[in-house]
Amino acid sequence: RAEASVVPTAQAAPPAPSVPPPAPATPALPSVPSTPLIYKDPDRPIPERVADLIRRMTLEEKAASLDSDPPTIERLGILGCSFRNEGMHGVYKAGRATTFPHSIALAATWSTALIQRVGSAIGDEARVKFAEAPTRRNYGVICWAPPVDLVRDPRWGRVQETYGEDPHLVSQSTRAFIRGLQGDDPKYLKVAATVKHFVVYGQETDRRATNLVVSARTLREYYLAPFQATLAKGGASSVMTAFTALNGTPCVMNPFLLKKILREEWGFEGPAVSDVNASVNLKEHYQCVGSLEEGVAQAVAAGIDVVAINKGTVFSNALQAVKQGLLPEAQLDRALTRSLTLRFRLGMFDPPEQTPWTKISPSALGSPEHVALAREASGASLVLLKNDRPAHRADPAPLLPLDRRRLDSIAVLGFYADRIELGTLHSAEPAQPIVSVLAGIRNHVGARVLVRSAPWFDADAMRRSARLKPDALAARQKAAVEEAVNAAARSDVAVVVLGLSRKNESEGKDRLTLDLPKDQQDFVEKIIAANPATVVVLLNGGCLAVNWIQKHVPAILEAWYPGEQGGNAIADALFGDINPAGRLPITFYAALDTLPLTECEINRGRTYLYLKTPPLWPFGHGLSYSRFDYAKLRVARETAEGGDALRVSLEVKNAGARDGEEVVQCYVRAPEAPWPTPIHQLRAFQRLAIPAGETRAVDLSVPLARLASWDEDANRWTLRPGRYEIQVGASSADLRLRASVDLE
């Protein structure tokens, strides 16, 4: 179903300069035009200001402004800027900034309110950085975030940057992030959100030269859904295209995507930006154009408005494309109309006092409030995967939460015990020192409980550095493991922190296996043998097939890449200061399937929508220290804003002894069809706090439009008549209540 070019993958381009290049010289032109400067008048409508500015620009200035780092144009009094900041879980690379949990962890909160607050904090800090250096890359207020890509394959190296595998969860989570990031001022954006990667991106292997083949139904119902939610309805300001080709045409020059879908069907008016060097790939990898100038021309003709090239050749490529007749100047003007409109909406051409976001205090950067929010978000993202009684104990109580009063000693061990991986695209310097699990536990127990640890011996690092001979290396590694095993055996409880890092999964690096690294697997088996009262904490982005651990370890906590406050939040959960309520935004598969990374048809057993074999842990799974009972399900059709909807009502009781939060999940099973249909699909959810012993009413709304499917024959959305089953529960596999409704 998918074809890949034989052209080798491109090498990483050198980093672009932090300061944009100077504007092309125009010595023969007057320094200030004589006609009224409409573009400088904040009281005039933005479309008039944009048109006036473009009318005054030379061809050279227009060509330079097509760049993702448009330069300063002194003649017109226009300051340069950058379209190339990142802000997924903190302001990227621009010095000190708060580092929040990564995107996959934010998705695991299943809390749109919390995600919006995180987005708002990142937006505040981006504005502070912008005030420091408005023309520098990574100090800009146009962020390439959030990603709305869907996880079709667990091996993908960038799962950590996503919000999961389900279109509805991804749509609702990223819309909340966008609301926070962009702010609520009716005129000025705080930060411009750029959703990416448009569309069907989901692999690093050969990503610059791969053609992905997708049916119209899968494209519409699955891959396009979160883009439509964030671009047509969700308020995102910009969109970035994917490197890959869709059904034979590279996304960066795909008029079906950039014109028909984006502009004609969805009515999106913001700029479309190419991923870095995507126009270069047209010549060097896809070999569908004859020159770099033609690559830029084809991209702009298809609907790209901002071109990102690391080598800084956008100006010369665009200028020559116009002069050679490859790119009409009118198309260049159209692209600039969209990109300049966004810059006007950010207040870049107005006096600072006109823009409310310039009033954000520099003290917001890494503020105590933001650090506390990072800890709260990390705690809310923690997923309690398993919590059983240790095999050697007669007490039927589960291992967690740990009771400080009954502990004399605790061993904190493993590769990541004294370090926290932040994942990709984090800030250069966290606002506060990164808190490891070891440090977090020490912060919690103080001096009363003995905390034992054993430094991890990184044999791979030693082997690469050739600092030890093989025999000495093996001896050192054996001694380090024996020290850890001894610490576990002499402690009441062992906490083993395992996981992955950017060495295993990242941009440009897919995984070959879902397993833990072998040295970590061997290590945890020895620790369990020494002390059955062991908790495993996992730090990772994509799922891990930890089958042995699931079978033999009594308690397992998924912590993702939890941000700078991760260690404190993990300790909060281990000791019961918070009640874990995170839920999996992806399926944890028990084994790796044999489908290639380029297989895009998810109906071949991908994701919880079509998976027929039992997973290790299902989508939506997550335990609690409380127990929640569901009752009194009612489903009624009602007229709601935007069209008819199903109102799903029920009651949820916290039947446990602790206050807690439950994530109520509503799935819908559609009538059978002549084509493969999902087993069921998430259509609504709500995370809510319920005190111990109390009951809460839950009301969910499922718009009927959300139940429509794509009719490939009629080329339109249609609601198939028949019986729809409403399923409500605590995960995609733990469905407590069911009701049916007939729709005509």
Contact 391, 554 (CB under 8 A): yes
Which residue in 47, 48, 46, 78 sits closest to 65, CA to CA?
78
Instruction: State the sign of the Cα–Cα–Cα–Cα dihedral 592, 598, 599, 601.
Output: positive
pLDDT in tens, 60-113: 999 999 999 999 999 999 999 999 999 999 999 888 999 999 999 999 999 999
Q: Which residues of the chain does CATH 2.60.40.10 include?
A: 628-743
pTM, whole model, 2 decimals?
0.94
Residue pLDDT, tens place only, 323-336: 999 999 999 999 99
At the second CATH level, the architecture of 368-603 is: 3-Layer(aba) Sandwich (3.40)
Residue 349, C-beta contacts closer than 8 angstroms, at least 6 positions apart: 39, 40, 49, 53, 78, 343
Cβ atoms of 418 and 455 closer than 8 Å: yes
pLDDT tens string 452-498: 998 876 656 545 555 656 777 778 888 989 999 999 999 999 999 99
Residue 734: HSE in the Cβ half-sphere, 13 Å Cα cutoff: 19
Q: What is the dihedral of CA 385, 387, 388, 393, to 10 degrees?
A: 140
- For residue 197, is the peptide bond before it cis, meaning its omega torsion is within 30 degrees of 0? yes
Which helix H or strand E contains 471, and what residues bound it?
helix 470-489
225: phi then psi, degrees, rounded to nearest 5: -55, -50
Closest CA to 268 of 242, 303, 299: 303
Residue with tokens 């760049």: 67
Residue range(s) occupied by CATH 3.20.20.300 in the chain:
27-77+253-349
User: What does the alpha-carbon distance between residue 299 and residue 282 come to, in Å, rounded to a whole number?
Assistant: 9
Architecture of domain 27-77+253-349: Alpha-Beta Barrel (3.20)
**DSSP character string of 401-463:** SP-GGG-SEEEEESTTTT-----SS--SEESS----HHHHHHHHHTTTSEEEE-----HHHHH
Strands 681-690 and 660-669 turn out to be: antiparallel
Q: For residue 353, count other CB atoms closer than 10 A to its CB.
A: 8
Q: How far apart are CA 454 and CA 478, in angstroms?
A: 12
Q: Which amino acid is at 20?
A: P
**Residue spans of alpha helices (H) in 292-387:** 292-302, 314-323, 329-345, 368-381
pLDDT digits (tens, 9 = 90+) for 420-464: 999 999 988 888 999 999 999 999 999 989 999 988 766 565 455
Q: Residue 393's pLDDT is what?
A: 85
Spell out, as residue ranges, where the chain has pLDDT lower than 70: 1-35, 457-469
Phi-psi region of 688 (alpha: psi -120 to 50; beta: other; left: phi over 0): beta
pLDDT at 465: 52
Q: How far apart are CA 279 and CA 304, in angstroms?
A: 10
CATH architecture of 628-743: Sandwich (2.60)
Cis peptide before 455 (omega within 30 of 0): no
Cα–Cα distance, 367 to 276 (Å, whole number): 33
